[in-house]
Amino acid sequence: MPAPLSLLGEIHTLLSFVPIAAGLYSFARHGGIRPEMRSGQIYLGGLALSVVTSFGLSSTGGFNPGHALGIMALLVAAAAILVGRLSFLGRLRPYLKTFGLSFTYFLLWVPGINETLSRLPPSHPIGNGPDSPPVQMALLVWLILFAAGSLLQAWTIHRGHALSRARA
């Protein structure tokens, strides 16, 4: 049976639902996470809070891969926002920005999938850590969904460029 959540673990879990919900809304409503939209701002703020609160948590007693993924997500988010402002990248900017912000959503879920499957149901969890087959299968499915979603986003951006060129 997994260890019960501490108070910080409960707060972190609740805060983690903010970027999950805001990101999902952003994908459904806008086709991606857009920092200029309210849902994108909520996503980025929730992501930052989720990552910061994760540093007080560790089943191994120190810095762990989940912490590294959180730092990576914050760095990728900052880079994606910055790349959107670099004019020398030309038409690559929307692709890189969209992919980067979507990648942060992907990274957010990696430790979430592991923790969820390693804790639920409480009486007999589905998985028992990142090396267990159910967790690895779920992560593989998540990777495939991310790849398919990224291709769809790139196609949508390309189609938007083609339509705007046709109108000109």
Instruction: Kindly report, residue by residue over 49-67, the tens digit of the pLDDT.
Output: 999 998 887 666 678 788 8
Per-residue confidence (pLDDT) for residue 167, from 0 to 100 = 64
Q: What is the pLDDT of residue 104?
A: 97
Buried b (16+ CB within 10 A) or exposed e, 31-47: bbbbbebebbebbbebb
Which one-letter amino acid corresponds to residue 151?
Answer: L
State the DSSP code for 120: S
Domain boundaries, the chain: 7-167
Collapsing DSSP to helix, strand or coil, 88 comes out as helix
- Whole-prediction pTM value? 0.88
pLDDT tens-digit series, residues 111-125: 999 989 988 888 899
C-alpha 35/C-alpha 94 separation (Å) is 12
